[in-house]
Structure 1
Amino acid sequence: MRAFEGEPAAIGGRGKDPVNTAMIRHWCEAMGDGHPAYTGPEAVAPPTMLQAWTMGGLSGHGDGTGRATRYDELLGLLDGAGYTSVVATDCEQEYLRPLRPGDEITFDAVIESVSPRKTTKLGTGHFVTTRMDVRADGERAGTHRFRILKYAPARRPAAPAPAEPPTGTATPAPGPDGTASSAPTTAPRPRRPRPVTNRDNEGFWEGVARHRLLIQRCTRCTTLRFPWLPGCNACGSREWDTVESAGEGTVFSYVVMHHPPFPAFDPPYAVALVELAEGVRMISGVTGVRPEEVRIGMPVRLEFQRVDEDLELPVFRGSVS
């Protein structure tokens, strides 16, 4: 597989659309990024959109440009060896010049590395890294590295067979229907996933522990932001303090989860994007109403839900008028 290193993954690819204000607007709305550099006559595209201009969508690059070459062959080889599952692991981007509306995007990609066989919690397989060089009107604009793991899923240990009762153990008395009866046994309920806590958001979780929902506020321009970030997305300042939310909000959008099932969750359940009275939005669960009763615009009120002995989460209780 090392022979694939340095081989092309895409040659002469061309973006399906030039850089344009409509896609920039959609991206900024989805990300909640209102930076003024992305609007107006001198607008530039957010740097993190670098890969977006190269993507072919569901229909792919129909004219054949940008079509995978040796990359397809490599993935087929891994599939044939039993590494049929795939997960994206990380990406890195380098920005060389801003992209502006009207720029025509072209790109080439190369298989940069194929790792030796690695064993992970997911299973055993190989990490494959591709590097894409992106150009705007023929000038290099940036580099995008993307890494996947092609792996064979780890086998789960088989459930142990029920143990035979030891000699001398009393046999349960037959029930009314003549069959042996015994107390039902239930497996312990799986624990909910733990939230990721790091130096950028630890203050938020410290507030939750005190039953306070804290919102970051830039001390330079007073812009509120959520989720917590190391710097202001309006003016770039790294100085901030917090304000406490009053806990009032409305459902801005929502989804009712039915499938796939996750351990420790009982579908169906509602997950909402809640717009707080302070103007920021956060994702959380909705309680107090049936999932099918959740509606956009529904008023909700903050409460703190004890999940287990060491986890408490902010959720929102809905009310049906």
Structure 2
Amino acid sequence: MGEDELHARLKAYEGRPAAVGGTGRDPVNAPMIRHWCEAMGDRNPSYTGPDAIAPPTMLQAWIMGGLGGHPGRSRAYEELLALLDEAGCASVVATDCEQEYLRPLRPGDEVSFDTVIESVSGRKTTRLGTGHFVTTRTDVRVGGELVGTHRFRVLKYAPARRPPKERRPRPVVNRDNAGFWEGVGRHRLLVQRCAACAALRFPWLPGCPTCGSPEWDTVEASGEGTVFSYVVMHHPPFPAFDPPYAVALVELAEGVRVVADVVGVPYDEVRVGMPVRLGFRRYDEELVLPVFEGVAG
């Protein structure tokens, strides 16, 4: 199919319904308003008390279909998505939304809605890949009265080919930490110990932060530890990494804390307090890094 023919077929879906006669799964209610405000940190008094209204930006929350999707999605919308899939635009990402509010929603309001395919763009090239923006407009009503409009835009695209994977950044090795990296190369995690007061320290430093002594030796960590804190990285700026992945601050049995990747368990199963065990992973011919593997409870 040529580009002109595809564009004409896509444009033919503009103005056709994407969902008709939809209804909110729940009436507007105080518990959902409270959860929303707590998540957003919004303490506006308008959203509490006997005369409470719902935060305007919750408009979409009352019409979302949940994990089961929208059972009222139209055949026309399904055909449009299938056409884009056939054209190689099988990936999708939400890009933005716009909302207009005509009156506040209040607890007890029962919403209904209709959605129309408002526009389908020509072929666009983005960093993610090449595809088409699809914009839908949802009119939200209460008892037949229009209370708000929600425009939602997605990009259906063919992912761009990724360049060859780059190498991970190299650690900065200097005279103060060279011994640590030499240990890692031998699959040993070495922790500094002050020769004067025996305090353990990590990362490596030229002097003891407890007593100030410049004298030190090392002890080898047992490798046992627990997750003290963690983050899940979704969008790092480095092409050498494969998000999402979990990075943890691990408290070793010796009492010091180390930052490293958590491997061997799904990133979304990492938890504070999870027991982990030291391992070492080779990333290329030069780079070996300590990692921590989740231990089954």
**Match of residue 108 from structure 1:** 114
Letter in 2 for 1:111: I
Structure 2 CA distance for partners of 1:42 and 1:289, relative to 1, 3 Å = farther
Judged with a 3 Å threshold, the aligned counterparts in structure 2 of structure 1 residues 157 and 259 are, in CA distance, closer, same or farther, namely: closer
Say if 2:230 and 2:246, in contact at 8 Å, map to a contact too: no
In structure 1, what is the Cα distance between the partners aligned to 2:37 and 2:259? 33
Equivalent-residue separation in structure 2 for 1:30 and 1:93 (angstroms) = 20
Please identify the structure whose Cα radius of gyration is greater.
2
What CA RMSD, in Å, does the superposition of the two structures yield over aligned residues?
A: 3.2
Stretches of structure 1 lacking an aligned partner (at least 5 in a row):
160-185, 191-252, 272-286, 297-321
The DSSP-based 3-state class of the residue aligned with 1:28 is helix
Which residue, out of 60, 64, 69, partners 1:51?
60
Identity %: 66
Whether 1:83 and 2:83 are equivalent positions in the alignment is no
CA displacement at 1:256 relative to structure 2: 4.7
The aligned runs of 1:1-321 (5 Å cut-off) are 1-61=10-70, 64=71, 66-157=72-163, 187=167, 189=169, 255-257=230-232, 263=238, 268-270=246-248, 288-289=257-258, 295=272
1:150 is paired with a residue of what secondary structure? strand
Q: Amino acid of the residue matched to residue 76 of structure 2?
A: R
Change (3 A) 1:268 1:148: closer
Deviation at 1:257, TM superposition (A): 3.3
Normalised to the residue count of structure 2, the TM-score between the two structures is: 0.57
Q: Look up the equivalent residue of 2:103 and give its one-letter code.
A: R
Q: Indicate the SS of the match to 1:16.
A: coil
Name the CA shift for 1:262/1:3 in 2 (closer, same or farther; >3 Å). Answer: same
Give structure 1 regions of 4+ aligned residues with deviation exceeding 6 angstroms. 258-262, 291-294
Number of matched pairs: 190
**CA deviation after TM superposition for structure 1 residue 268, in Å:** 4.1
TM-score, normalised to structure 1, is 0.53
Describe the superposition over 1:86-132 as per-residue Cα deviations: whole angstroms up to 9, x where unpaired. 11111100000000000010000000000011111111110100000
CA separation of 1:14 and 1:147: change in aligned 2, threshold 3 A: same
Change over 3 Å in CA distance of 1:103–1:254 after alignment to 2:
farther
The 1:254/1:45 distance shift into structure 2, 3 A limit, reads farther
Change (3 A) 1:259 1:103: closer
Tell me the alpha carbon deviations over residues 149-178 of structure 1, each in whole angstroms, 9 at most, x when there is no partner: 10101112457xxxxxxxxxxxxxxxxxxx
